């Protein structure tokens, strides 16, 4: 199983649950990598008859199983960026009663949740389930650049090269955690990187 129990943290940090099928006029299911397992766990033929699945495999081997669910609409793409326009269109075309399910990595869920909130769906009405990688999407507070899939703390910003401390502070607006320069007052004094959840 690809589930991870996150340690307790500050209030801004997202909390994930387990997907549950809800009655709805339509179902939008967005997942990446091992997030497919959560969709497979919740899917029923009646649900799939009204479902639009957007899947980003990231090297995981679940695409055939998801296609086998016979959803009303299915899309598999190489990245969130490639799927983003399709997600925005599905949300813009949605009617009352749409149920939104997000599963997989925090980066995918954060970006998809942000898109759904921009379409008028409150974040409390969006189901999320974390599966797979615990890597984070980080925004450098200094240059504002976003680095995807950060697994260590501290890490070097991909945009400005600063050594960043990975904070638990999360921005729903940016769908990213915040990274702050760790050696601003003592340049070069950077601790050895370790896994974020070590």
The domains found in the chain, sorted by start residue, are 26-130 (3.40.50.80), 136-195 (no CATH)
pLDDT band at 13 (very low <50, low <70, confident <90, very high): confident
* pLDDT 10s digits, 128-165: 999 999 999 999 999 999 999 999 999 999 999 999 99
Tens digits of residue pLDDT in 178-191? 999 999 999 999 99
167 dihedral zone (left: phi>0; alpha: psi -120 to 50; beta): beta
Distance CA(165)–CA(183), nearest Å, equals: 9
pLDDT at residue 11 greater than cutoff 90: no
Contacts of 13 (CB under 8 A, 6+ apart): 6, 168, 169, 170
Whether the CB-CB separation of 129 and 17 falls below 8 Å is answered with: yes
Q: pLDDT value at position 53?
A: 98
In the DSSP assignment, the letter for residue 45 is H
Q: What confidence score (pLDDT) does residue 139 get? A: 98
**Please, which residues have CB within 8 angstroms of residue 99's CB and are 6 or more apart in sequence?**
22, 23, 24, 26, 27, 28, 127
Q: Where are the alpha helices (DSSP H) in the chain?
A: 35-42, 45-48, 63-67, 80-92, 106-118
Q: What's the pLDDT tens digit per position in 73-106?
A: 999 999 999 999 999 999 999 989 999 999 999 9
- 3-state SS class at 133: coil
- For the chain, the average pLDDT equals 94
CA dist 11 and 127 (Å) reads 18
pLDDT tens digit sequence for 100-127: 999 999 999 999 999 999 999 988 889 9
Give the per-residue pLDDT at 83.
97
Q: Rounded distance, CA 136 to CA 143, Å? A: 18
């Amino acid at each position: 199983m690809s589930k991870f129990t996150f340690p307790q943290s500050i209030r801004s940090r997202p909390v994930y649950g387990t997907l549950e099928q809800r009655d709805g006029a339509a179902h939008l299911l967005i997942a990446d990598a091992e997030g497919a397992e959560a969709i497979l766990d919740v899917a029923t033929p009646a649900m799939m008859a009204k479902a639009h699945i957007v899947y980003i495999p990231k090297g995981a081997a679940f695409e055939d199983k998801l296609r086998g669910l016979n959803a009303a609409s299915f899309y598999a793409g190489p990245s969130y960026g490639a799927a983003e326009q399709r997600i925005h269109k599905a949300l813009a075309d949605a009617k009352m009663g749409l149920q939104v399910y997000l599963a997989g990595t925090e980066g995918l869920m954060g970006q998809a949740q942000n898109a759904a909130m921009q379409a008028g769906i409150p974040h409390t009405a969006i189901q999320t389930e974390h599966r797979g990688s615990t890597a984070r999407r980080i925004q450098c507070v200094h240059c504002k650049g976003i680095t995807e899939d950060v697994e260590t703390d501290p890490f070097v910003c991909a945009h400005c090269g600063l050594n960043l401390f990975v904070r638990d502070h999360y921005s729903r607006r940016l769908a990213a955690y915040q990274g702050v320069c760790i050696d601003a007052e003592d340049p070069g004094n950077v601790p050895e990187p370790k896994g974020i959840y070590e």
